[in-house]
Amino acid sequence: MNELDSKFDKFSNSEFFEMTDERLVREVGLNGIITEATFLHEADLFFQMFRVLFADLVLGDSIHLATHIILREKTAMEAFELIEVEMGFMYDVLYTKLAKVRKSRVILRATTFLCLVSALLAFSLGMSRHNHAYLTADITISYLLLYGAIAIEIYSVAVLLLSDWAMLWLTGKRKPLFGSVYRTICSSRFLSFLRNDKRWESRMAQHNLISFQRSKGKLTSISRKKLLGKLTSISLKKLLGKSNIQSSKVVGADLKKFIFQHLLDKRTRYNLRMRSHDPGSNDLHEILSERGDEVFGREESLENFVWSVKFPDFNESLLAWHIATDICYHDDVRINGGNAKIIHQNTEISIELSNYMVYLLVDYPFLLPRGIGKERYSQTCSAVDDHAELLDQIISVQPFSWYESATTFDIEKGTRKVSALWAGVKLAKSLQAVGTQDGWGNERKWKIISEVWVEMLTYAASHCGWKEHAQTLTRGGELLSHVCLLMAHLGLSEQCLTTSRLD
């Protein structure tokens, strides 16, 4: 770490912000790497610099300023791919003890393979002379075991030789022949599949509270055959540890671009505060504490929504916005005559992030800020069951004035137990109302909703410990963890120190 620090310490903060990506590449020794493999070496550089975060140590400003320079020149897809590779390196170090491809490991693999082949040849030679002494079934099983062991070893060697560590070593030699080999491997679909086997699948699980709770309530009304199939499916999901996952969505280019741009905007605001002469304005903690209030602070007409993101418990705000987002979506579909395809891009982003955050709350609450999320969720589920008929009408596409049922909620609020359902319905009414006034339209409304959700995502990411993020790597990783690491590279982490102010 000291060696990396020494590469950047000679630059002041102001020099860093004026430095070009090309100059930084020369300073860190990445020049001469073929273009197709540059991202691998950048990911390795990022990993070497930021691995200390997982030990809860802090970074000097020269480190995160350097990674910020590299990232600001990237597209969203390139930035997320870089983070995927870096997370793969971290997984190998934490769970496989593989750090770099070493000669001893290759020699051991080759020795194991030769021993297995020798065993197969010896067994075949022995059976050709004494096959009458053993049962045919025993001989067949022995052959299957030996061939299986050899096949597994071949696969293991192939994965090792095609790993990101191996490609890092190969392209690091800066020789034309090795560069050609790398391009050949990348152009092969099969070999590329083996290379990317450990990387994040770019998917996020989905859990919709209302539809999940209502589907449980309808189990008693379906046929016995369907009930058995449903219960079998639930049991299988529980066995796989996915009992609350209703579906999964691809984290597409639009969502990655939306998140990345939001983080760059946060970094830009942070830069402006760093340039300020007010010593109290350089407050990274304030920026990281935003969970929707910054969105509403831009316009006076949105100030009435601030209450929805200011609950003492973050999970209550999350559930209220989840319910409101779901109701607004179904109401817009109803207004469009039941055509769910006529929706804005920000609508899809909002729905996916909303369902993803609730999935984390239900299955992995330790990834979210501490609170009584489980209790809030249970209370809200009970409230959904208590008002099942009204909610079925709200989320249906049939012509129905759900405002009437919302009025019923308001009337019963004083006599029923408190849950996020009340706040969600109240918020949905306000959002639908503001969408028809002050020149607003659905597009602007959903833009605001999506911005609130991405702020909640970044708030949760920055308030989760690195130990918890590391645990997600055993399951292939989570979008939340990738966002958190991306934020750290942009200096949006309280473990990234800023020791001096820009002029």
- Average pLDDT over every residue of 464-468: 90
Q: Which residue has the higher pLDDT, 62 or 52?
A: 52
Taking 60 as the threshold, does the pLDDT of residue 126 lie above it? yes
* pLDDT band at 234; cut points 50, 70, 90: very low
Question: Coil, helix or strand for 148?
Answer: helix
> What is residue 233's predicted lDDT score, i.e. its pLDDT?
46
Tokens representing residue 275 in the block: 């340039």
Q: What is the pLDDT of residues 135-188, one digit of tens each?
A: 888 888 989 999 999 999 888 888 888 888 888 888 888 888 888 888 888 888
Confidence of residue 254 (pLDDT cuts 50, 70, 90): very high
Q: pLDDT tens-digit profile of 391-400?
A: 777 766 565 5
Q: Mean per-residue pLDDT for 100-119? A: 81
pLDDT of residue 503: 38
Q: How confident is the model at residue 407 (pLDDT cuts 50, 70, 90)?
A: low
Residue 207: pLDDT above 90? yes
Query: What pLDDT is attached to residue 1?
Result: 47
Determine the Cα angle at 398 with ends 394 and 401, to 5°: 50
Q: What pLDDT score was predicted for residue 219?
A: 46
State the Cα–Cα distance between residues 355 and 352, nearest whole angstrom. 5
Chain centre distance of CA 288: 18
**pLDDT for position 3:** 54
- Summarize the confidence of residues 358-364 as an average pLDDT: 94
Q: What is the structure's pLDDT at 200?
A: 84
More confident residue, 156 or 464: 464
Per the listing, tokens 């860093």 go with 16
Each residue's pLDDT tens digit, 413-463: 544 556 788 889 889 888 888 866 666 778 888 999 999 999 999 999 999
Q: Which H or E run contains 205?
A: strand 203-206
**Residue 204 pLDDT > 90:** yes
What pLDDT, on a 0 to 100 scale, did the predictor assign at position 415?
43
Task: Name 85's Cβ contacts closer than 8 Å, sequence gap at least 6.
Answer: 39, 40, 43, 164, 199
CA–CA separation, 246 and 271 (whole Å): 41
Q: What is the pLDDT of residues 15-57, one digit of tens each?
A: 555 555 566 666 666 777 888 888 898 899 889 888 888 887 8
Q: For position 338, what pLDDT does the model report?
A: 66
Q: Is 352's pLDDT higher than 60?
A: yes
Provide the pLDDT for residue 442: 82
* Mean residue pLDDT across the chain: 79
What is the mean pLDDT of the segment spanning 312-330? 92
Instruction: Print burial letters for 411-425: b (CB count within 10 Å at least 16), e (below 16).
Output: eebeeeeebbbbbbb
Q: For the chain, how many residues are written? A: 503
Question: How confident is the model at residue 15, as a pLDDT?
Answer: 53
> Residue 161 has what pLDDT?
81
- pLDDT tens for 268-318 read 888 776 655 555 555 788 889 999 888 988 877 788 899 999 888 899 999
